[in-house]
Amino acid sequence: MSAQIPEIVAADSIGEWNGEFDVVVVGFGIAGGCAAVEAAAQGARVLILERAGVAGGTTALAGGHFYLGGGTAVQQATGQADSAEEMYKYLLSVSRDPEPEKIRAYCDGSVEHFDWLEALGFEFERSYYPAKAVIQPGTQGLMYTGNEKVWPYRDQAVPAPRGHKVPVPGETQGAGMVIELLVKRAAALGVEVWYETGATHLIVDADGTVVGVQWRRPGETGAVRAKSVVLAAGGFVMNADMVGEHVPWLTEKPFVLGTTYDDGLGIRLGISAGGAVRNMDQAFVTAPVYPPSRLLTGIIVNREGKRFVAEDSYHSRTSAFVLEQPGAAAYLIVDSAHMERPEFPLAPFIDGWETVEEMAEALGIPTEALQSTLDSYNEHAREGEDPDFHKGPEWLQPQDTGPWGAFDLTLGKALYAGFTLGGLRTSVNGEVLRDNGSPVPGLYAAGATSSTLAQDSKGYASGTQLGAGSFFGRRAGRHAASRSS
């Protein structure tokens, strides 16, 4: 698959237009659907071009977490205090290259966006899941899905759970229900959807304003005129050439999360019109070691027998640190008093050993180093302290009861999954920006086609993609519609 940038097409070269719309949206995932619905609600005539035969995109594969806060109805009903200001401080603190204006808008508008989502026709369950997990096991409406309680972030912002889950049991298909509701809302608002029809080129006039899209479907091509175009065509994780160029380590062994059409076309279309990109070298990657959360009382060490991350971190933060270790190798070590076997072990269990010396030899770790690390951890854990990594007190329990077991977190041994986080540079209203910060007239981007709010795996929280994708999709649609009025 190519990383080639499509050529732009001059508007005066189009002999015949196949329609004229106020807003054309490329892609019908969560971001594109929200952009289309919001634009249509403003009175715009809207067309969605979707390459697949159905709506959904990668969103349809998601578990259904929306990262929302500031005092949502679920937070209030379950007694979980939060404010837009604390949410802002948290997201700012975990971002590697923060965009304060976007983060502020997202936090200040989070409650309203929660209400808007529910107005589509569903309700987040007014319940809280207190345990540490990747996703709620049932339909519980709220849980912690980031590093809010992990040091140093717990000292920089008051922790609050913000992972709002669509009320569908299980780890997938939760967001699919939201897509179905968006399809219905779009139809009610008169949005046209052309399935099995992909954008191929952007059409621009003499001054560089985007004024339309060339499209292709099996056996047919054409062009539509538009006052604004919103690119919401996903990320680039399925484009081996782009991944190899920007995130080469992602080609090594992780299982990638995406659909056939996460090939970076939306990003490349934006670049063709002069758009800039950011964070193209960043990706989300994870191989969770929990649940069961009891395993997080253990220690994670590298081949040198040294700890390198607080074990109570959100799973993608831990995984990102693992990949930085020598040989991208690490092991979770747990004693017999705290050992539990995961139902779905993404990090495989290696073996158990009667002594630390036997374990060190089997893992290829210097015995003295591993024993020293374990002794130091146990000594401080008995006092409820972790001076090295400030692990939360609830997870500090000595691992001093043999035999010991180990799980393999090593890349290539553990089942890592990942997707890209980089994309087009956009304004707070979704305008695609050039390198100098000026907008490309008539062009917008949202969702994974734009550089995401969660800019790396260490600061990621489950629900950021769906939450920010839908939020900024709405803003892009609203702003795009305003150009036609």
The DSSP result for 272-296, as a single string, is HTT--EE-TT-EEEE----SSGGGG
Cβ pair 346, 303 in contact under 8 A: no
Beta bridge partners of 300: 332
The stretch 231-237 carries a mean pLDDT of 93
The pTM of this model reads: 0.94
Considering the domain architecture, whether residues 404 and 292 belong to the same structural domain is answered as yes
Question: For 317-346, what is each residue's pLDDT tens digit?
Answer: 999 999 999 999 999 999 999 999 887 788
Residue 3 lies in a domain: no
What pLDDT score was predicted for residue 169?
Answer: 64
- Reply yes or no: is the peptide bond before residue 342 cis, omega within 30 of 0: no
The H or E element spanning position 265 is: helix 265-272
Considering the domain architecture, whether residues 281 and 293 belong to the same structural domain is answered as no
Closest CA to 451 of 302, 260, 236: 236
Q: SS in 3 state form for 54-79?
A: CCCHHHHHCCCEEECCCCCHHHHHCC
Considering the domain architecture, whether residues 58 and 77 belong to the same structural domain is answered as no
Is residue 364 classed exposed, middle or buried when 0-12, 13-18 and 19+ CB atoms within 10 A define those classes? exposed
Lowest mean pLDDT among 139-143, 180-184, 188-192, 259-263: 259-263
Please tell me what DSSP assigns to residue 373: H
Considering the domain architecture, whether residues 46 and 188 belong to the same structural domain is answered as yes
What pLDDT score was predicted for residue 260?
Answer: 80
The stretch 388-393 carries a mean pLDDT of 96
What pLDDT score was predicted for residue 469?
Answer: 95
The stretch 362-390 carries a mean pLDDT of 97
What pLDDT score was predicted for residue 484?
Answer: 65
Considering the domain architecture, whether residues 251 and 396 belong to the same structural domain is answered as no
CATH assignment at residue 472: 3.50.50.60
pLDDT grade, residue 459 (50/70/90)?
A: confident
**Res 485 pLDDT > 80:** no
pLDDT grade, residue 61 (50/70/90)?
A: low
Out of 62-71, 180-189, 279-288, give the one with best mean pLDDT. Answer: 180-189
Residue 2 lies in a domain: no
Considering the domain architecture, whether residues 223 and 278 belong to the same structural domain is answered as yes
> How many percent of the chain have pLDDT more than 90?
79
Give the alpha-carbon dihedral of 391, 318, 134, 451, to 10 degrees. 120
What pLDDT score was predicted for residue 390?
Answer: 97
Residue 99 lies in a domain: yes
The stretch 441-452 carries a mean pLDDT of 95
What pLDDT score was predicted for residue 344?
Answer: 77
How far are the Cα atoms of 32, 48, 458 from residue 82, in angstroms, in the given order? 29, 36, 23
- Return the SS3 of 201: strand
Containing structural domain, residue 81: 65-165
Question: For 79-127, what is each residue's pLDDT tens digit?
Answer: 999 999 999 999 999 998 889 999 999 999 999 999 999 999 999 999 9
What pLDDT score was predicted for residue 267?
Answer: 96
Residue appearing with tokens 């002794």: 375
What pLDDT score was predicted for residue 34?
Answer: 98
Residue 55 lies in a domain: yes
Residue 1 lies in a domain: no
Interstrand relation of 142-143 and 163-165 (parallel, antiparallel or unpaired): antiparallel
Residues belonging to the chain? 485
What pLDDT score was predicted for residue 174?
Answer: 65
Please tell me what DSSP assigns to residue 364: T
Question: For 398-417, what is each residue's pLDDT tens digit?
Answer: 999 999 999 999 988 998 88
Residue 4 lies in a domain: no
The H or E element spanning position 419 is: strand 417-420
pLDDT grade, residue 170 (50/70/90)?
A: low
Which of left, alpha, beta for 333 (phi over 0: left; psi -120 to 50: alpha)?
A: beta
Task: Report the domain count for the chain.
Answer: 3
Cβ pair 453, 464 in contact under 8 A: yes
Q: Which of 144, 165, 186 is the last residue of a domain?
A: 165
Cβ pair 228, 431 in contact under 8 A: no
What pLDDT score was predicted for residue 146?
Answer: 94
What pLDDT score was predicted for residue 353?
Answer: 97
Which distant-in-sequence residues (6+ apart) come within 8 Å of 460 by Cβ? Answer: 146, 284, 314, 316, 317, 421, 454
Considering the domain architecture, whether residues 345 and 400 belong to the same structural domain is answered as yes
Cβ pair 332, 300 in contact under 8 A: yes
Considering the domain architecture, whether residues 56 and 200 belong to the same structural domain is answered as yes
Cβ pair 410, 343 in contact under 8 A: no
Tell me how far apart the alpha carbons of residues 156 and 92 are, in angstroms, rounded to a whole number: 10
How far are the Cα atoms of 101, 373, 480 from residue 369, in angstroms, in the given order? 46, 6, 59
pLDDT grade, residue 460 (50/70/90)?
A: confident
Cβ pair 369, 305 in contact under 8 A: yes
Structural tokens at position 114: 């929660």
How far are the Cα atoms of 99, 161, 313, 425 from residue 456, in angstroms, in the given order? 13, 20, 14, 15
Considering the domain architecture, whether residues 82 and 144 belong to the same structural domain is answered as yes
Tell me how far apart the alpha carbons of residues 189 and 39 are, in angstroms, rounded to a whole number: 10
Residue 136 lies in a domain: yes
Tell me how far apart the alpha carbons of residues 72 and 483 are, in angstroms, rounded to a whole number: 32
Closest CA to 360 of 370, 372, 350, 352: 370
pLDDT grade, residue 36 (50/70/90)?
A: very high
CATH assignment at residue 320: 3.90.700.10
Considering the domain architecture, whether residues 153 and 202 belong to the same structural domain is answered as no
Q: Which of 113, 142, 165 is the last residue of a domain?
A: 165
What pLDDT score was predicted for residue 134?
Answer: 87
DSSP 80-145: ----HHHHHHHHHHH-SS--HHHHHHHHHTHHHHHHHHHHTT----S-B--S--SS-SSS-SEE--
**Res 229 pLDDT > 90:** yes
DSSP 127-192: -B--S--SS-SSS-SEE--SSTTSTTHHHHS-----EEE-S--SSSSHHHHHHHHHHHHHHHTT-E
**Res 60 pLDDT > 70:** no
Residue 307 lies in a domain: yes
Considering the domain architecture, whether residues 147 and 267 belong to the same structural domain is answered as no
Q: What's the mean per-residue pLDDT of the chain?
A: 93
> How many percent of the chain have pLDDT more than 70?
96
pLDDT grade, residue 275 (50/70/90)?
A: very high
Q: Which of 408, 435, 469 is the last residue of a domain?
A: 408
What pLDDT score was predicted for residue 303?
Answer: 97
Considering the domain architecture, whether residues 276 and 303 belong to the same structural domain is answered as no
Tell me how far apart the alpha carbons of residues 232 and 471 are, in angstroms, rounded to a whole number: 13
What pLDDT score was predicted for residue 136?
Answer: 84
pLDDT grade, residue 171 (50/70/90)?
A: low
More confident residue, 463 or 59: 463
